[in-house]
Amino acid sequence: MPDKILVVDDEQEISDLVELYLQNENYEVFKFYSAKDALACIESTELDLAILDIMLPEVNGFALCQKIRERHTYPIIMLTAKDAEADKITGLTLGADDYVTKPFRPLELVARVKAQLRRYKRYNPAQASGPEQASDLLLHSGLEMNTGTHACFLNGKPLPLTPTEFSILRILLERKGKVVSSEELFHEIWKDEYYSKSNNTITVHIRHLREKLGDTIDNPKYITTIWGVGYKIET
């Protein structure tokens, strides 16, 4: 079955162009020009990825992103205006996995869609098969992560993580006791040349992870910041 992708952008020419390029890659596209029209699709359709413009009429892309994250963990790519750094940070904070700056090349967006879907499928429980392996389990102070099924629990309760959050936490758990720099996290997670060296993206995802873990930067139980170096989980 083809992957199902939601596209929401009130600029019809952009939406139609994105739809065309995605369909050429054999994706099933659900296209809408407003967030309100897209809500019913989000509720009734098992989607694999969403592409959301920030500047939407009535209900903006941030609110739509937040609505998706209440129930779903599939990747979200935000479309932002040129150099709108604050918008990028807000989107990442609300649970977006990536952002593309307008104007963009359609093939670049397609490349990012493919990269996000690869990571999502790699850790999607629906893709898992066979018995659970002990090597798939990462444990730390009430935190239990199964890399084989993409399941994560905190003190016995399910911990909903986006694919990016899961990847960051997995890397830190696998290297417990060692400092991992933002640049290393970037390379491990995205491996794509279009990512420039930027600490903001990782910083925002770390902040979001801390919120979900009930962690604090001043008295961390899980993720410790080593200023000027990176992050680590203490042994």
User: What is the assigned CATH class of domain 131-233?
Assistant: mainly alpha
- What's the distance, CA 114 to chain centroid? 13
Q: What is the pLDDT of residue 192?
A: 57
Least confident of 16-30, 116-130, 194-208: 116-130
The fold of 4-123 is Rossmann fold (3.40.50)
- Kindly state the percentage of the chain with pLDDT values over 90: 48
For residue 53, name the pLDDT band (cuts at 50, 70, 90): very high
Cα torsion 66, 161, 192, 92 to 10°: value is 30
> Which sequence spans correspond to the domains of the chain?
4-123, 131-233
Range 90-111 average pLDDT: 87
Q: What is the pLDDT of residue 124?
A: 60
Query: What pLDDT, in 10s, does the model give residues 189-225?
Result: 876 545 554 557 888 889 989 999 999 888 888 999 9
* The overall pTM is greater than 0.75: no
